[in-house]
Amino acid sequence: MAKLTQEEIQQIKELQQKYDQTVFELGSLEAQIIVLNTQIDKINEEKRNLVSDLNTVGKKESELIKTLQEKYGIGNLDIETGEITPIQQ
């Protein structure tokens, strides 16, 4: 019956240990990826909400400009004084 040497047994144990460590590290990295993907999903949702808010603000701004132009005509607005300087067409 053949028997492995102590050195061969040690090599096998080291390879098994390296294999186990590598599998553990891969699992750890996968867990980090899951956490990061969850954070990315939350950030993307927040971004979608902000883009929606931006679109809403843009629509309201356009509506207000149209209303003000109908009331006061086309001009330049000084936001500090509220004065509208008509634009000559």
Domain range summary for the chain, segments of one domain joined by +:
9-76
Residue 32 in this model has a pLDDT that exceeds 90: yes
Range of weakest confidence among 13-17, 18-22, 50-54, 74-78: 74-78
Tell which phi-psi region holds residue 76, choosing left (phi > 0), alpha (psi between -120 and 50) or beta: beta
Residue 83 in this model has a pLDDT that exceeds 70: yes
Q: Report the C-alpha gap between 32 and 26 in whole angstroms.
A: 10
Neighbours of 50 (CB within 10 A): 10
What six digits make up the tokens of 50?
């902000």
Helices (H) and strands (E) in the chain, counts: 1, 2
Share of the chain above pLDDT 90, in %: 90
Residue 74 DSSP class: S
Find, among 87, 63, 61, the residue nearest to 74 by Cα. Answer: 87
* pTM of the full structure: 0.67
Per-residue pLDDT, 41: 98
Residue 37 in this model has a pLDDT that exceeds 70: yes
| Residue in the structure block whose two tokens are 């294999």 | 19
What six digits make up the tokens of 13?
């144990």
Per-residue pLDDT, 89: 67
